[in-house]
Each structure stands twice: as structure tokens, then as C-alpha cells.
A and B are shown apart, each in its own frame.
Chain A
Amino acid sequence: MIARGVWQLEQFGRFVGFVALTLAVLPRAVVERFGEVLWQFEQVAVKSLPIVLGAGTSVGLVTWLQTHRLLVANGAESALPSFLAVAVVVEIGPVLAGVLVASRMGAGLAAELGSMRLNEEIEARIVLGADPVPSLVAPRAIACALAVPLLTVLIDASALLGALVGEVTAGKLSPLLFWRDSLVFLRLSDVIPATLKTAVFGLLVGLIGCWTGLNADRSTEAVGRAATLGVVRATLAVFAANVILVPCIQLATEALGLGLL
């Protein structure tokens, strides 16, 4: 029991070292392996487009439907856009983007690196002098970190669009009024940190996916397990990071006096 706890602690220590190493080589990797970064970015961002847009529109529309019913019952229908925009832009959009990327890339990266390890491709790279961290992990991590904020913007936009579709179909507000109202409670000090924090989500997803794949056992089953584990770990990491980041951001805004913006 204790041995297992110690082992897990050891694994965590290895992971921290892995993260530190990756962060250290990150800037160099961007410059030296830009093609690889771009390729991975395409994998993460462009190929996530359908799921992101679909999820965003669906969430916006459904949020509108549920909130609309409640607010109409209380005669506060016109307050809907402002509440909905705050909910979507400040919290739902970023978390949804993080979770979607975690499920998609957590599995993908773990499986990819796991099968590389199964094929002894990693060892071959090491022998050829290409360390896996700068050559494989860093481009993937940075691509994820860059892609998720962009996906967040897309989710926000598509969710607002979905809500607008609901409003135009069944509501009373005109699109222009909807747009102007939805901006009422938004502050730059909320919107910018909320969007930028998703870069951390992306980075965590990339790191955890790669770590899980690199540490998989050498068997086909293990690759499958690694994929599942990658999704679970990445998603949990996104939620945990959100919990930690939100108070930190609020404290930071307060301390810097940016809450007035």
C-alpha cells in the first residue's frame, strides 16, 4: 500500500520533471520544429472545427431554451442575452473548449505515443539522437496551447449564434438588440483572462496525453488503456486547472486594479 503510494508519488515527481523539461525546451521547439508545430496545430485546431462548432451551437441554443422559459415566467425576458453572454463567454466556452480538446487530443496523443513506444520508435529516435521531449512532446504541447484559445473563441461565437437563432425563431428581441444586450455585463477583465486561461488547458492536455502515451506498457491492450487513461486524466486536469486558475485570475485582477475595466 505504502509502496504503491510511494510509487505514485515517484510517478508524479517524474511527471513534474517531464513538464519542467518540456517547458524548458518549448521556445526552442517552436523555432526549430515550426513545421511539426504547424502540423500538430492543424490536427488540434482545424480538425476540431466540426465538433467545436457543433458543441458551441448546441450549448448556446439549449442554454437559451432553458433560460428563456424561466425568464419569461418571471417577466425578465430581455435580461436573457446579458446573462447568457456572461455564462457562455466567461465560463461555459472556455471549459467546453478545454474538455473537448481533452477528450479528442488526450486519447489521440496517448494512443499515438503509446503505439510509437510499442513499435520501439521512441528508442529508435533516441538512438538517432532525437530526444522525444523536444521532438515529439514539445510541438504537440505548444500546438494544443495555441489551439485551445482559438477554439474557445469559436465556441463562444457559435454559442451566441445558437442563442441568437433561438431568439430570432421564438423570442421577441431583434438580432441587433440581442447583440447589444449580450455585451452589457461583459468586461474586458473577465473576457480576456477567461479566454487566455484555456492556453493552460491546452498545454495540460498536450503534456498529459504525451506523458500517458510515453508511459504505456508495450502491448496493444496497454495502448487502448493509455488512450482511455489519457482522456480521463486530461479532462480531470482541465477541471482542476479551472478551479485553481479562476481564483488566481480574480486575485490577480484585483491586485493589478484591472477589475475596473
Chain B
Amino acid sequence: MGRWRALANAAFALAVLALGGFGLYQVATRRWHVQPTFHVQVKFSTVSGLEAGHRVRLQGMDAGVVEQVVAPGKPGEPVELVMRLDQRLRHLVRSDAIARILAEGMVGARVVEITPGRPDAPLVAEGGAIESEPPVELSDLMKRTGASLQKLDDLTRTAKTGLEEINAIAGSIREGKGSLGKFVGDEAAYQSLMSLTHRGERTLSAMEDNLAALKRTWPLSRYSDSRSFFEREKVLYQPGSRRDSRLFRDEELFEPGRAILTPVGRTRLDEVGRWCKQASQPQSEVVIAAFTNDDHDVDLAEVLTQEQADSVRKYLIEKHGIDSAGWFRSRKVAAVGFGTQVLRQQDPSLAQLPPRRVEIILFTPQT
């Protein structure tokens, strides 16, 4: 064999050896055989199948391998793991670092995951110990799930009992047992209850009417009037509406001391009627308010002013139809006799009004 050929053979062999060496070096690097490393130990109550050669991660980074699993000397003692970690990551592993055992991926390979710890804690010594957190065992999880299911089961049973009781009650009602059941099952009882209700409603409304009538009857009326003192006044107080009014002294309209319209008064009211019709807005409201001075007896004055207001209202409605606005709508026309009452809140401009007067006020809501 020639020299060059022999050299070529040698080169071939060396090249392949170099390739193999490179591969071995890579494998060794991946398992931290060749880099500078340091050792850390940690004790676990169970290592869940972890063995020497499993990987160690630091915050998820590949950081080393488990070098040794030391079985406990006595029952009850923890299993000790010795881990070989990359020296370059040493500054991250503090003495309060925590190690956990996790399952990785579908195949269920185990890895040790280390959480570094606080930055102010001292670095862990070579071969020093760090804390461990017990791994989540599937059996523990199953046990806890079982307990939860048991609780749920109890709850369901309680709920079921309650439902059964409710069902029993509903059943007995349906069968007409007990007072409620009898009532529910009996049509006649229902009918009589309904008629009672209707009668009650009617009675109540009749009672209301009676009460209203009673209030207007002297001497109760005095009591109720003094009570409704402010309510009557509210008719004239409509802040949301424009107020237009016509004012007449009572001798302009009525025979003296009476509630009978004079012919002059009628012509005056005709004017008012036309004015009201012109300002016929649907929501407008007419208030006829009659006042008198305190020459009269208080009660008689009430009657007089009320009758005066009513006769004005009657004339305006009958003659001019001011209670209708348009074809179909009606307009509210109120006649109120105020007697000798002096309105509390008066416009200063109205202070000089004659005490004996009839006011026809048109309130037009301003929307």
C-alpha cells in the first residue's frame, strides 16, 4: 500500500473519530458533564418516579440534571436528590429557592423545576440544601376530587329531600288536603272570594264618596276645609303653566249679595267666553275663582262665593262651551269659591285687587 493511500485511510479514520467525538461532546454538554457545575440537594417526601438523569430546570430554563437519588435511611424520612447545575446559573439559586417535581409533556417525563428565591437571600453553598414543595400527585388529586364529589353528593341528597317535601306539600294541596288544598280545589270558594273582593272594592269607593260628602257637610266641613286650606289654593298655583286672567268685581256680574248674573254681567261673560275659545289649547285649564271680603259670615261667604263661581262656570259652559277644546277633547273647568280667604302667596301686583271679585284664569301648560 502506498504512503498516500495509508495517509488517506488514517485521515478517514480520524475524521470519523472526530465526528464521533463531536457527537459525544454534544451529548456530554447536554448533560452537564463538561461544563463547570455545582451541586445542590433537596429533600422530597416523594419523588414521583424521578430518577437520576432527569432534567432540572430553573425558571423553565434547562439548568442541569439529577445526579443521584438517595433513598431515606429510615421510614418517614424524605428522599434526597442531588442535582448538578450549571455554574453560570449559580447566582440565581438562593438559599430560599424552591424545587418542585413536575410532569413534562405527554410522555410524563419528570423534571425538577427550581424557583430561584429572593435576591437578598444568600447564595446556596456547594452541595447546600434548598426547599422543596411536594409534587401534585394524581392520587392526592383524586382523593380531593373524591371528597368534593362526596360533598356535592350530600348537597344533592339534601336538595332532593327538600324537593320531595315540597312535592308532598304540592301533592296534598292538589288532593285537596289541608285548608289551602281545600281552598285551591274548590271553585265555589274562589268565586265567593272574588265576589267578596269586588264587593270590598265597591264598598271602599262608596265609603270614599261618603267621606268626601261628609267633609263638605257643615260643621265637619269647617274642619276639613281648614285642612284642605292649602289644597284649594293649589288650584291657583300652577308653576308650569302660563297664567292669563280676567278680573271682575262682583257687582259687575251679580246682583248685589247674590249669585245671579245681571244682564250686564252676561255681556261681560260673553266677552270672556270668546276670549277663552280663542285661547283654546287642548291642555289648557280654566279656573274660576270667586272671592269676597270679610263683611259676611265666614260660612255664608264660602257658600256665596262657591255659588257665584258655579254660576259663572255654568253660564260659560252652557253659552260658550268652554269646557270643550276641539271636537272631541274636553277641557277642565274648575269653579272654586274661596270665601273670605286671603291667598297666602300673592303676586305683589295683585295686592291691590278688590277683595270682592271673580277671577277667570286660563292656565296654558308650557311644554
Contacts and interface: CB of A to CB of B under 8 A. Distances in A.
Interface of A: 35, 38-39, 41-42, 45-46, 74-76, 79, 89, 146, 149-150, 153-154, 156-157, 179-180, 183-184, 186-188, 191-192, 195, 259-261
Contacts of B55: 184
Given A45-B13, A79-B107, A150-B16, A186 B53 contact: no
A194 to B, nearest CB: 11
B68 interface: yes
14 contacts: A38-B1, A38-B6, A74-B106, A75-B106, A76-B105, A89-B23, A150-B20, A153-B17, A153-B19, A153-B23, A157-B23, A188-B24, A188-B28, A192-B24
A234 B26 CA distance: 33
Interface in B47-68: 52-53, 55, 67-68
Contacts of A187: 27, 31, 53
Given A79-B106, A259-B53, 8 more contacts: A42-B9, A149-B20, A150-B17, A157-B23, A180-B30, A183-B29, A186-B30, A260-B68
Contacts of A195: 20
B1 A39 contact: yes
A153 B30 contact: no
A153 B20 contact: yes
Contacts of B26: 179, 183
Nearest to A36: B1
A146 B6 CA distance: 15
Interface in B252-303: none
Nearest 10 interchain pairs by C-beta: A153-B20, A183-B30, A150-B16, A260-B52, A186-B27, A76-B106, A42-B9, A153-B16, A39-B1, A153-B19
B23 A188 contact: no
A192 B27 CA distance: 10
A41 B106 CA distance: 46
B12 interface: yes
Interface in B62-114: 67-68, 105-107
Contacts of B8: 46
Query: Which residue, of A39, A180, A187, has the highest number of chain B Cβ atoms within 10 A?
Result: A187
Interface residues on B, range: 20 to 34
A30 to B, nearest CB: 14
B13 A150 contact: yes
Contact of B33 (A39, A79, A149, A261): A261
Nearest to B106: A76
B5 interface: yes
Contacts of A146: 13
Contacts of B52: 259-260
B23 A156 contact: yes
A101 B107 CA distance: 36
Nearest to B30: A183
A46 B10 CA distance: 10
Nearest to A34: B6
Contacts of B20: 149-150, 153, 195
A151 to B, nearest CB: 8
A45 B14 CA distance: 12
Nearest to A160: B23
Contacts of A38: 1, 6, 9
A153 to B, nearest CB: 4
Most buried by A among B20, B28, B52, B106: B20
Nearest to B6: A38
B12 A79 contact: no
A195 B20 CA distance: 9
B197 to A, nearest CB: 71
A46 B12 contact: yes
Nearest to B67: A260
Nearest to A195: B20
A45 B19 CA distance: 15
